[in-house]
Amino acid sequence: MKVLKLTLLVAIPAILLFINGAALAADVKERLFADATAARQAANEHDGVHLAPDTYARAARAYRGAEKKFSEARSLDRVQRDLDKAEKEFRKAEYTAELAQQNLATVIKARADAETVQASQYSAREWAKAESGFRTAVSTHEDGRLKSAKRYAETATKNFRAAELTSIKAMYLTETGMMIEKAKKAGAT
């Protein structure tokens, strides 16, 4: 009985110390990662993943590197270097995405309209062609070649509009076909 009490007296403080240490580590991580996390959130709000994909990817790699180094208990200086790079790249992705929203507004709208009518499902080939052009326009814009980006965006816009129209036709024809079949089954001639 005395051994059990002694074991509990030693074990309980050790467990509490472990729990307290884990909470402290989580707090340290939250504080250390705060700026980079905020920059990532801002880039996400401006659709940086789609409108500045290369910059966003570099930022995400740096962020994941910082997380890995932190979890491996590497030097905080090394973690901070990755976080600084991640924050810088996320901020750049946010800025680039904001510019893309202004400079490529027409193709972004055309893409959203085509998505609304499920063009990727109903006109997959046209959607793929438009999406490829969109990615090229965005990449070119991200590289700072605005004139070329606008040319690619023009073509992609036409392709998205074609995909949208094909999708709308397919949706209505499918619906009309179903109504005709229903009418035939009901005995209409």
Rg (CA), the chain: 27
Residue with tokens 């814009």: 141
pLDDT score at 180: 62
Instruction: Please say if the pLDDT value at position 183 is more than 50.
Output: yes
pLDDT score at 107: 97
pLDDT score at 171: 78
pLDDT score at 15: 53
pLDDT score at 8: 45
pLDDT score at 13: 53
Amino acid, single-letter form, for residue 88: K
pLDDT band at 2; cut points 50, 70, 90: low
Token representation of residue 8: 């509990």
Task: Write down the pTM of the prediction.
Answer: 0.73
Instruction: Please say if the pLDDT value at position 188 is more than 70.
Output: no
DSSP string computed for the chain: -HHHHHHHHHHHHHHHHHHHHHHHHHHHHHHHHHHHHHHHHHHHHTTHHHHSHHHHHHHHHHHHHHHHHHHTT--HHHHHHHHHHHHHHHHHHHHHHHHHHHHTHHHHHHHHHHHHTTHHHHSHHHHHHHHHHHHHHHHHHHTT-HHHHHHHHHHHHHHHHHHHHHHHHHHHHHHHHHHHHHHHHTT--
Rounded Cα distance, 75 and 124, in Å: 49
Rounded Cα distance, 73 and 52, in Å: 32
User: How long a stretch of residues is the chain?
Assistant: 189
pLDDT score at 5: 53
Rounded Cα distance, 166 and 98, in Å: 31
Rounded Cα distance, 186 and 182, in Å: 6
pLDDT one-digit tens code per residue, 8-30? 455 555 454 455 454 455 677 88
pLDDT score at 179: 65
Mean pLDDT of 85-107: 96
pLDDT one-digit tens code per residue, 125-174? 999 999 999 999 999 999 999 999 999 999 999 999 999 999 888 877 76
pLDDT one-digit tens code per residue, 29-83? 889 889 999 999 999 999 999 999 999 999 999 999 999 999 888 888 898 999 9
